[in-house]
Amino acid sequence: MGFFEKLKAGLTKTKNSFMGGINALIKGSKIDDDFFDELEETLILSDIGARTADDIVTSLREKVKKDKITESEDVKQALKDIISEMLGEDTPLDMSTTPSVILVIGVNGVGKTTTIGKLSYQLKNEGKKVLVAAADTFRAAAIDQLEVWTQRAGVDIIKHSEGSDPAAVVFDALDAAKAREVDVVIVDTAGRLHTKKNLMNELAKISKIVHSKAEGCALEVLIALDGTTGQNAVNQAREFNEVADITGIILTKLDSTAKGGIVIPIANELKVPVKLVTVGEKIDDIQPFNNKDFVNALFED
């Protein structure tokens, strides 16, 4: 099965929830003020959120008026165009230097460790030499789990014992990356720190080491978000973005949720691009986010 087919299948719950209500509304309503009010309510109930729902409906009102749209299929196409524009341009990972560094952050339980394994496997298959740094040293289980995934992916790992200084792990990983001529270093970070200040200090320390040990390197700071949590994922991204310079989002578990439309408010409200999505539990179930494929899978009959 190609990835678009996986994405389409994975978005079935989202499509049924999101498009089911919208299709029924478009087909059964006159395009008037009541229609737009009901559409906004439908979008909010689909976990799009009040702010983004208002933005979508406002844009649709303007487009319907400007283009004198009256047919339901034309309304649907206009809505599709608005959402596609809201998602913005596809933004690939920046791996323009050797080594490039990817920090993966996010709360526990979002699929962070498994995603690192999948990403490592994908990059290795693209011909890149990958090294993983187990910098989530707060939990021994996190290190053990990451080691299992790196073995599956066939990539090396740098780890210290539980309770070690995470920054020291990154320091050693970057030394090893230079010695081994590694293309990409992927850093797992702690999923739970007690305060924002702790998190900010830890990430700042890691970032400082990255820039001193690999000066001028391409650095991605990716937050892993669980697609099943809906608006909570937006809130997590917003909080992390206050303490870290997030460059992109990995949206996980799209195949397990009716809330995959959460991609839309993430892009619209946070202005942070979704760069990767996972739609399954297999090691190859990860791909760069593709705006066109996502919107087509969501709207396709």
In angstroms, the CA 49 to CA 226 distance is 16
What is residue 224's three-state secondary structure? strand
- Residue 92 falls inside a structural domain: no
The residues, any chain, with a CB within 8 Å of residue 225's CB and separated by 6 or more, are 106, 110, 233, 236, 237, 249, 250, 251, 252, 262, 266
Beta strands in 29-107 (DSSP E): 100-105
In angstroms, the CA 214 to CA 129 distance is 16
**Final residue of a domain: which of 61, 87, 113?**
87
Say if residue 218 is in the same domain as residue 178: yes
- Which residue range forms the structural domain that includes residue 248? 100-299
**Final residue of a domain: which of 52, 87, 122?**
87
Q: Which residues pair with 274 in a beta bridge?
A: 249
- Residue 153 banded pLDDT, cuts 50, 70, 90: very high
Say if residue 69 is in the same domain as residue 165: no
> pTM to 2 decimals?
0.89
Q: How far is CA 224 from the centre of its chain?
A: 6
The stretch 58-83 carries a mean pLDDT of 91
- Residue 91 banded pLDDT, cuts 50, 70, 90: very high
- Residue 95 falls inside a structural domain: no
Within 13 Å of residue 126, how many CA atoms lie on the same side as its CB? 14
- Residue 104 falls inside a structural domain: yes
What is residue 32's three-state secondary structure? coil
CATH code (residue 28): 1.20.120.140
- Residue 269 falls inside a structural domain: yes
Say if residue 280 is in the same domain as residue 210: yes
Q: What is the average pLDDT value for the chain, to the nearest integer?
A: 87
The stretch 48-62 carries a mean pLDDT of 94
In angstroms, the CA 281 to CA 289 distance is 17
Helix 12-28 × helix 291-299 angle, to 10°: 60
- Residue 162 falls inside a structural domain: yes
- Residue 44 falls inside a structural domain: yes
Q: How many domains does the chain have?
A: 2
Say if residue 229 is in the same domain as residue 292: yes
Say if residue 27 is in the same domain as residue 132: no
Q: Read off the pLDDT of residues 215-264 as tens digits, 9 standing for 90 and up.
A: 889 999 999 998 888 788 888 888 888 778 889 999 888 766 656 778 88
Task: Say whether pLDDT at 181 is over 90.
Answer: yes
In angstroms, the CA 214 to CA 97 distance is 10
In angstroms, the CA 279 to CA 8 distance is 10
Res 78: pLDDT: 94
User: Which phi and psi (to 5°) does residue 154 adopt?
Assistant: 75, 35
- Residue 107 falls inside a structural domain: yes
Say if residue 147 is in the same domain as residue 286: yes
What does the block give as tokens for 176? 């090893």
**Final residue of a domain: which of 59, 87, 115?**
87
CATH code (residue 143): 3.40.50.300
Instruction: End-to-end CA distance of the chain: give it in Å, rounded.
Output: 19
Say if residue 110 is in the same domain as residue 251: yes
- The side-by-side arrangement of strands in the sheet containing 286-288 is 156-158, 130-134, 184-188, 100-105, 219-226, 248-252, 274-278, 286-288
